[in-house]
Amino acid sequence: MKAANFEYERPGDIKSVIALAEREDIVTKLLAGGQSLGPMLNLRLAQPDVLVDITAIPELKRVEENADAVTLGACITHADIEDGRVPDGCAGALSTVARDIAYRAVRNRGTIGGSLAHADPAADWISCLAAMGAEALVSGPAGQRTLAVAVLMTGAFDTALAPGELIEAVRIPRFSRSARWGYFKVSRKTGEMAQAIGVVLHDPDRGVCRAVMGATESAPIVFAQAAALFGGTSGAPALDRLDLDAATQALITAGITDAIDRKLHITALKRAIGRAAQA
């Protein structure tokens, strides 16, 4: 289990990364924290010619704040977020999510951008940031664009990023004071990837009521209008109004045929609702 031969570059700016990616004579792969790519290299599931380390690029470690949102560079680590070294516009929700990702050693290196780009269905950020209404700021040969996290992931380990594009940063809208947030991850043991994820964000002042069922076989199931899960009623998501048939139907539509898998997803959703209600 040793990686196949590769060259290593560590450019200092995004332009150089894109230039390398545009070369047709080589296959490149971006390296952020290496926590997902490292094993793939060693298992020889990835065999790039050139590994492009993006952790020396200042823009990718930037932190910007304004009244509406916090923008975190793609190379901000899970541990940066867990420890509060970057601002948390979501009343502590970001650091709570970060804390439950993997083990500390992985969190020290793993990045928010790498996690989104890797698009593991069981990963935490893809579901949470979708529920938060976050956007990925993307740069590529054709310039910059933004992509809602909710549509970034197109399938298991697959994204809407075009060849040569990279995630530069993630823009995360701030919670208002009225926001209620609930997150629940079902996993076999501490530090493991999720078997099911439930997320609920109710922020009436901003007119937001979203729910997500994640860690499916593919992209998370996002209910941009969570009212659909609660019999069409507005107001705070409440367990007693949860429409189990609607939730089950969404899971079936997403291809989850196994009853026990569905039970875990429903449980995660219910517990997220419960947590939001207590928040």
Ligand X SMILES: Cc1cc2nc3c(=O)[nH]c(=O)nc-3n(C[C@H](O)[C@H](O)[C@H](O)COP(=O)(O)OP(=O)(O)OC[C@H]3O[C@@H](n4cnc5c(N)ncnc54)[C@H](O)[C@@H]3O)c2cc1C
Task: Give the Å distances, CA to CA, from 42 to 8, 121, 144, 147.
Answer: 15, 21, 33, 31
Give the position of tokens 């910059």. Answer: 144
CA dihedral 92, 94, 95, 100 (to 10 degrees): 130
Distance (Å, whole) CA 136 – CA 265 = 26
Residue with smaller CB distance to ligand X, 138 or 229 = 138
> Given the rule CB under 8 A, which residues bind other proteins?
1-5, 39, 43-44, 186, 188-193, 195, 259-260, 263-264, 267, 270
For residue 87, count CB atoms less than 10 angstroms from its CB and return exposed for 0-12, middle for 13-18, buried for 19 or more: middle
Name the segment binding ligand X (CB under 6 A); options: 79-87, 99-107, 175-183, 215-223.
99-107
122 within 8 A of 145, measured Cβ to Cβ = no
User: Residue 117 interacts with ligand X (CB under 6 A)?
Assistant: yes
With CA atoms as reference, report the closest residue to 271 among 181, 180, 209, 183: 183
Q: Of these partners, ligand X, other proteins, none, which one is at the site of residue 260 (CB under 5 to 8 Å by kind)? A: other proteins
CA distance 87 to 94: 9
Extract the tokens encoding 204. Answer: 């009436």
Q: Does position 55 bind ligand X by CB under 6 A? A: no
Nearer to ligand X, 37 or 150 (CB): 37
Q: Which does 186 bind (CB under 5 to 8 A by kind): other proteins, ligand X, none?
A: other proteins
* Residue 50 binding result from other proteins, ligand X, none, given CB thresholds of 5 to 8 Å by partner type: none
| From the list other proteins, ligand X, none, partner contacted by residue 3 (C-beta under 5 to 8 A by kind) | other proteins
Binding flag, residue 74, ligand X (CB under 6 A): yes
Comparing CB distances to ligand X, the nearer of 125 and 184 is: 125
Q: Which of 14, 18, 21, 33 binds ligand X (CB under 6 A)?
A: 33
**198 sits near ligand X (criterion: CB under 6 A):** no
Provide the minimum distance between the beta carbon of 137 and other proteins in the complex, in angstroms, as a whole number: 30
Show Cβ contacts of residue 183 under 8 Å, excluding neighbours closer than 6 positions: 93, 96, 97, 128, 197, 198, 199, 200, 272, 275
Give the span between the Cα atoms of 64 and 73, in whole angstroms: 9
Cβ closest to ligand X, residue 180 vs residue 265: 265
Tokens 């079936």 -> residue: 252
The residue (of 51 and 138) whose beta carbon lies closer to other proteins is 51
Residues found near ligand X in the complex (CB under 6 A):
29-37, 54, 74, 101-102, 106, 109-111, 113-115, 117-118, 120, 123-125, 166-167, 191, 193
